């Protein structure tokens, strides 16, 4: 699952989970709830679907996003359940560079090599040496999308992008 890059009203960029991520969990909740409702509430053994419903509700409320704010010269990383989440802020001045690593597909690869999943990472490297993975993708088309998102973000932040394949 890849993030979606959005431009916010103030011109900053956000890398967020796609809408279908939440819709999938909500669909499962509705499906299981309908099953419980149809079979009756007094039946024993319904604790498993109820537990799955609770987990899916938590999945639907999960958020993970990266906000790139050029005006404030910082990057916010937010993750957790919508109301109970953790926010970490990275100042542009503390960032060494952005980094793309992993295997990038080429058109000249043999059939066997194309069947293997290849992973590409877009990371943030701090001057302290700490590496934060921002986005990870597998597959040729998602790798190209990740590279395009990475270039838009690094151009916006005016921070160097280093590519290492």
**Torsion-angle region of residue 45: left (phi > 0), alpha (psi -120 to 50) or beta?**
left
Tell me, yes or no, whether 115 lies in a domain: yes
Burial classification of residue 141, based on how many CB atoms lie within 10 Å of its CB (0-12 exposed, 13-18 middle, 19 or more buried): exposed
Confidence of residue 42 (pLDDT cuts 50, 70, 90): low
Q: For residue 27, which phi and psi values (nearest 5 degrees)?
A: -60, -45
Mean of pLDDT values over 6-33: 91
Chain-centre distance for alpha carbon 111: 29
pLDDT value of residue 47: 77
Tell me, yes or no, whether 120 lies in a domain: yes
pLDDT value of residue 34: 86
The Cα–Cα gap between 165 and 163 comes to 6
Tell me, yes or no, whether 111 lies in a domain: yes
Tell me, yes or no, whether 87 lies in a domain: yes
Confidence of residue 129 (pLDDT cuts 50, 70, 90): very high
For the stretch 63-112, pLDDT in tens is 999 999 999 999 999 999 988 899 999 999 999 999 998 865 555 555 55
Mean of pLDDT values over 133-143: 80
Tell me, yes or no, whether 34 lies in a domain: no
Q: What is the mean pLDDT of the chain?
A: 85
Instruction: Identify the three-state secondary structure at position 4.
Output: strand
Task: Give the rounded percent of residues in the chain with a pLDDT score beyond 70.
Answer: 85
CATH code of the domain containing 133: 2.30.29
Mean of pLDDT values over 107-119: 57
Tell me, yes or no, whether 33 lies in a domain: no
Mean of pLDDT values over 3-19: 91
Give the range of the structural domain holding residue 151, as residue numbers without chain letter. 4-20+61-164
How many domains, the chain? 1
Q: Is the model's pLDDT at 115 over the cut of 80?
A: no
Nearest CA among 130, 93, 100, 91 for reference residue 118? 100
Confidence of residue 158 (pLDDT cuts 50, 70, 90): very high
Helix (H) or strand (E) holding 68: strand 62-69
């Amino acid at each position: 699952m890849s993030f979606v890059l959005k431009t916010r009203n103030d011109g900053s960029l956000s890398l967020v989970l796609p809408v279908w991520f939440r819709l999938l969990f909500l669909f499962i909740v509705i499906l299981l709830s309908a099953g419980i409702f149809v079979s009756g509430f007094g039946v024993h053994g319904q604790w498993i679907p109820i537990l799955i419903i609770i987990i899916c509700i938590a999945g639907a409320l999960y958020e993970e996003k990266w906000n790139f704010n050029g005006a404030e010269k910082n990057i916010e990383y937010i993750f957790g359940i919508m109301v109970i989440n953790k926010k970490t802020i990275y100042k542009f001045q503390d960032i060494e560079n952005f980094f793309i690593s992993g295997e990038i597909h080429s058109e000249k690869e043999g059939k066997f090599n194309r069947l293997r999943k290849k992973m590409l990472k877009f990371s943030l490297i701090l001057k302290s040496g700490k590496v934060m993975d921002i986005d990870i993708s597998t597959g040729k088309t998602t790798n190209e999308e990740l590279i395009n998102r990475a270039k838009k973000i690094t151009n916006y932040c005016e921070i160097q992008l280093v590519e290492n394949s």
